[in-house]
Amino acid sequence: MNVETLDELIAKNKVYCSMGANASYIPALASVNPNQLGISLYHIESKELISAGDALVKFAIESMSKVPALLLAIEDNGLTTVLEHINTEATGFAFNSPLNMEINHDKHPLNPFVNIGAIETTSLIKGNSPDTRFSRLLTFVKEICHDESISLNEEIYESESKTGDINRSLAYYLKGNHMLSGDVDSILEVYFKQCSLNVTTVNIAMMASVLGNKGVKPWDNKRLISEESATLVKSVMTTAGLYDESGEFSAHVGIPGKSGVGGGLMGVAPNKYGIGVFSPPLDKSGNSLAGMKLLKDVVEELSLNIF
């Protein structure tokens, strides 16, 4: 794919920016310019990066941070232990719904990408203070995204924390049911901070390329995570990466994906491309509307559908 084709696909899909709405429950996200659409693709074999549109705009990683948090929790505890705390089931409910817990009367959250499972995942990251745990996660994010400059967006963090009562209720639900060890406020501090990291589509494409390359960083051929961990995460992305819209996404886009309410979308084309997309207006499930349309076109153009 060349940049001209990518530019054409951006122009074609920009119209969808006006058909969604920025996340409004976090004020700092509501005020982001909605008329933005950008994409980066990193080719695993050739190591070529191509970008178009608003590819270098910084935006909040939000729920895409649940991917590196899960990878670090697995590195810290082993896959078996993590899966003793969190299931890997699909959800038919919204990302922040308590039903992701109660519906089957299970002892564990449905999966690591719905908020209740993500809070549980973050609690498994090792460190003796919230600062240490967040700093370990930030170091890991910088490494998997191949960018030392990634940092916390303080304004988003303030906003997340101030408006985070549903997440507080989910964390207390876990704690009250003896499923969360540690202090709720400390765990949520790390969770709110991980969601508030500033990234670009290039960062997301690089992270996706590590998953697509079975855990080995394509840019230096060094292994960062185990193949087993990369495989598990891609499979949960396929069934739950876009919450109650994961089925539609699999059927119509056809690669493992993970969204964030900042408008980010990560796509993994195994052994081929890591893809990062950004467009702030969301659909009703909290996924980037123009971002999904653009990703679908790119996947079709490059014949990347894994099914």
Active site residue 63: yes
Contact stretch for ligand DON (CB under 6 A) within 79-87, 99-107, 206-214, 257-265: 257-265
Distance CA 240, CA 212 (A): 17
Work out whether 290 is an interface residue with ligand DON (CB under 6 A): no
Q: Of these, 51, 153, 167, 238, which contacts ligand DON (CB under 6 A)?
A: 167
Q: Of these, 153, 213, 250, 259, which contacts ligand DON (CB under 6 A)?
A: 259
Candidates 16, 42, 157, 243; catalytic one: 243
Work out whether 195 is an interface residue with ligand DON (CB under 6 A): yes
With tokens 């191949």, the residue in question is: 146
Closest contact distance (angstroms) between CB of 175 and ligand DON is 17
Using alpha carbons, select from 127, 128, 111, 131 the residue that is nearest to residue 70.
111
Work out whether 63 is an interface residue with ligand DON (CB under 6 A): yes
The C-alpha angle with vertex 15 and arms to 11 and 21, in degrees rounded to 5, equals 130
Work out whether 115 is an interface residue with ligand DON (CB under 6 A): yes
**Is 173 marked as a binding-site residue?**
no
Q: Which is nearer to ligand DON, 42 or 192 (CB)?
A: 192
Q: Of these, 41, 261, 269, 275, which contacts ligand DON (CB under 6 A)?
A: 261
Distance CA 175, CA 288 (A): 32
Q: Of these, 95, 134, 157, 278, which contacts ligand DON (CB under 6 A)?
A: 95
Residues that bind ligand DON (CB under 6 A): 62-63, 95-96, 115, 160, 167, 195, 259-261, 286-287
* Residues labelled as active-site residues: 63, 66, 191, 243, 261
Residue stretches of the annotated binding site for substrate: 63, 115, 160, 167, 191, 243, 261
